Amino acid sequence: MAAGCAALNAGSTHSATKLTLKSASALVLDQSTGQTLLEKQAGAVVPIASITKLMTAMVLLDAHLDPQEILTITNDDKDMLRHSKSRLPVGTRLPREQALLLALLASENRAAHALGRTFPGGLSAFVQAMNAKAKELGLTGARFEDPTGLSSGNVATARDLARILESAYNYPEIRDFTTRPETSILSGRKSIQFPNTNALVRSPRWSIGLSKTGYIEEAGRCLVMQAMLANRPVLIILLDSWGKYTRLGDANRIKQWMEARLGTKG
């Protein structure tokens, strides 16, 4: 195994085929039993980028706000920290539920910021609720500074993210929104298409129940998923992958590795 990784069924006397991952931190858990199937630097506290939006979604849904209330994207929702691009024009009016869909499926930062900005008490109250939720979940290394993940101060360990992923899986809206292949909105007379940021949700080889990607320079390429692998429900956390496609490559390597170990495709 690569340094820092544990073998599947580590107590077994059978030798494991080497698995080299490009992600700096990785964790794979059996969702049913909590068994650690693989780990690599799973306790390191690192920036988590847009994986943050899973916490954003849970806080929003816990508040039971009107999903059909119309929100307006304003200049306040522009990314003034990194000046990242957005396909969601200022002035766009959309239901809160659709803003959440765009934040989760397309990782739209303006949508996520608008959700926090329009929360009762405003953005500061929303961030406070995010950190309260982290404490409620027993997260030891997690801290949140904004609802988008653009701040490098949004940090957690891979093990923290496994708890977030497991908790988020209990929300039907999050499972649905994060696994749709694409969506679209009407802006004036123009239809704007938003593909899912995780290409694996469009692959017939994968059965994914929840998904979220993330990227800022400090965090590298990140990916978390709930998926069926070798007929097991598993939680996959991949953080700080150095290449544009290596997080997807790591996910496929983990899939092949588990199928080879268990002799079952799923």
- Assess whether 107 carries a catalytic annotation: yes
CB under 8 Å to 204, separation ≥6 — which residues? Answer: none
Amino acid at 229: L
Alpha-carbon distance of 195 to 86, in angstroms, equals: 13
Token readout for 145 is 């500074």
Catalytic residue among 40, 53, 212, 255: 53
Map tokens 């910021």 to a residue: 113
Catalytic residue among 50, 86, 211, 241: 50
- Assess whether 32 carries a catalytic annotation: no
Contact between 130 and 144 (Cβ < 8 Å): yes
Catalytic residue among 23, 25, 107, 211: 107
Quickly list H helices, the chain: 52-62, 96-105, 109-117, 122-136, 158-168, 172-179, 246-262
Would you give the DSSP letter of residue 149? S
What percent of the chain is helix, strand and coil (3-state, nearest 5)?
A: 35, 25, 40
CB under 8 Å to 199, separation ≥6 — which residues? Answer: 248
Map tokens 């290394």 to a residue: 141
Amino acid at 100: L
- Assess whether 23 carries a catalytic annotation: no
Token readout for 246 is 């290596």
CB under 8 Å to 244, separation ≥6 — which residues? Answer: 221
Token readout for 35 is 């068994």
User: Exposed (0-12), middle (13-18) or buried (19+): which is 60, by Cβ within 10 Å?
Assistant: buried
Which residues does the annotation mark as catalytic? Answer: 50, 53, 107
